[in-house]
Amino acid sequence: MSKVLITGGAGFIGSHIADALVGQEHEVHVLDDLSSGNRGNVPDAATLHVMDVRSPEAAALFEAEEFEILVHHAAQMDVRKSVADPRFDADVNIGGLLNLLEAGRSNGLRKVVFASTGGAIYGEPEYVPQDEQHTLKPLSPYGIAKLSSEKYLFFYKEQYGIEYVALRYGNIYGPRQNPHGEAGVVAIFAERLLAGEPTVINGDGKQTRDYVFVQDVVSANVAAMSHKGSGIFNVGTSVETDVNTLFRVLRDLVDPDLPEAHGPGKPGEQKRSVLSYAHTQEALGWQPTVDVRNGLEATLEWFRNRREAVGADV
């Protein structure tokens, strides 16, 4: 078993990964500044360190603990915020990673599993589904930072022998997703529908994404940890789902009589995104197991149970 640090491990995706790695009896540490993560998401068997990935304290943690594997999910993840403040986005998403890599390279770090992005790196598709050979056309500082991070990981492999696996995610959804940020339309729709609040679809709702369930993402991370060598792999379903369909499935599970409303579209929003997982299946032995309908049902049930547990005012 390995000594693993999961950054962002109190958040949506990272906490599910922490659960899985604890279950496999790895020694799991979580680094999270709790700006969007929740202390309650961290499994009891994991050690939580509340700090910023950019901080000297985070670098010192590598010196003290000598982590073997870094699973890096801490990020500034709001695409619109990256456009509004590119320097902040780069500071967190590039500077934070470099802070940890510099500390890790002289303290026993041997592998990084990195949360990259599919849609924001590839841009509008020239063909579908988009594979790892697709032209890279990031149109936001967020996408540029993720691509830059992949290049830095390649450098640290070549220069210092630190292996890496960059996972280019589709649109991840599932239990524990934060419905109060810009990311996570499934969580936003689920919470508002259950509360009986107006639910607005941006634009015509025909924009498509590749929605991948969080437990499938967890299994991709587990496969990446045991992969021999380095590489870049898509984590998606190769299925396009438009926002209208997403809303209607959730709406019908809550109350088919609830209205469908559309508002202005978001300027510059990508129209299509769908990822091929063929290379990931071949190299990592991974494939998605949860289709969108079953995943939405499970996600909605989690939000419903949370509301019942803590009352309607959540």
Q: DSSP E strands: which ranges in the chain?
A: 3-7, 27-32, 47-50, 69-72, 111-117, 163-169, 171-173, 200-202, 208-209, 211-213, 231-235, 241-242, 261-263
CATH class of the domain defined by 3-172+212-235 = alpha beta
* This prediction's pTM: 0.95
Question: Which regions of the chain are under pLDDT 70?
Answer: 181-183, 311-314
Helix, strand, coil shares of the chain, percent, nearest 5, are 45, 20, 40
Q: Is 142 a catalytic residue?
A: yes
Fold classification of 174-209+239-274+290-310 (topology level): UDP-galactose 4-epimerase; domain 1 (3.90.25)
pLDDT of residue 268: 75
| Mean per-residue pLDDT of the chain | 94
Q: In whole angstroms, how far apart are CA 164 and each of 26, 156, 246, 281?
A: 19, 9, 34, 17
| Active-site residue, from 122, 142, 164, 211 | 142
- What is the distance between the terminal CA atoms of the chain, rounded to a whole angstrom? 38
| CA–CA gap between residue 193 and residue 236 (Å, rounded) | 26
Q: In whole angstroms, how far apart are CA 100 and each of 97, 308, 311?
A: 5, 40, 40
Question: Whose CA is closest to 296, among 214, 217, 197?
Answer: 214
Extract the tokens encoding 252: 């019908």
Q: Which amino acid is at 259?
A: P
| Residue indicated by tokens 């068997």 | 45
Question: Whose CA is closest to 9, among 25, 23, 21, 24?
Answer: 21
Question: Whose CA is closest to 299, among 190, 216, 184?
Answer: 190
- Give pLDDT tens digits for 44-89: 999 999 999 999 999 999 999 999 999 999 999 888 889 999 999 9
Backbone angles phi, psi at 135, to 5 degrees: -55, 140
pLDDT of residue 182: 54
Q: Going by C-beta distance under 8 Å and a sequence separation of 6 or more, which residues neighbour residue 259? A: none
- Give pLDDT tens digits for 116-157: 999 899 999 999 999 999 999 998 999 999 999 999 999 999
Specify the 3-state DSSP secondary structure of 201.
Answer: strand
Domains 3-172+212-235 and 174-209+239-274+290-310 share a fold: no
pLDDT of residue 308: 86
Query: DSSP string spanning 248-298?
Result: HHHHHHH-TTS--EEEPPPTT------B--HHHHHHH-------HHHHHHH
pLDDT of residue 183: 64
Q: Where are the domains of the chain?
A: 3-172+212-235, 174-209+239-274+290-310
Question: Whose CA is closest to 234, among 148, 173, 169, 283?
Answer: 169
